[in-house]
Amino acid sequence: MTVLKHWTFIVMILIGGSIYVLQRIGVDLPLFLNNYLNDILSIPITLFIILAVVQLFKGKVYKLSIWMIMFIVAYFAIYFEYYLPQFHPRYTSDLLDIGCYVIGGIIFYLIQRYLLAVQP
């Protein structure tokens, strides 16, 4: 089973996509849903996709290391919270978003460790 068919990935995509659609059509959402939940979900979704690509080449047993996860979290924090706000008015710097990225990294690590165990 590819990791992109795992129920946790599918649920995250559905939740994140639903929030995005609701925002686009102008539905007022609670502050947490509107501003932070997709930031939390962005890291696990990205890491699921990275894991699927790496497993194509390295095998289904391959797992992302804690260092790889931390690198992606740091990259998102720097790119979306430091770099982009300087050049694009759509992006604003928010320290809480960095905390959301960290939470997302922890969530992915736990999912990978405990829920994505290779079936014998």
Look at residue 84 in the predicted model and tell me its pLDDT.
Answer: 95
pLDDT tops 60 at residue 119: no
Distance of alpha carbon 76 from alpha carbon 86, whole angstroms: 15
Look at residue 90 in the predicted model and tell me its pLDDT.
Answer: 87
Give 1's pLDDT tier (boundaries 50, 70, 90). Answer: low
Give 104's pLDDT tier (boundaries 50, 70, 90). Answer: very high
116: DSSP letter: S
Give 120's pLDDT tier (boundaries 50, 70, 90). Answer: very low
In the numeric block, which tokens belong to residue 93? Answer: 């710097």
Q: Is 23 exposed, middle or buried (0-12, 13-18, 19+ CB in 10 A)?
A: middle
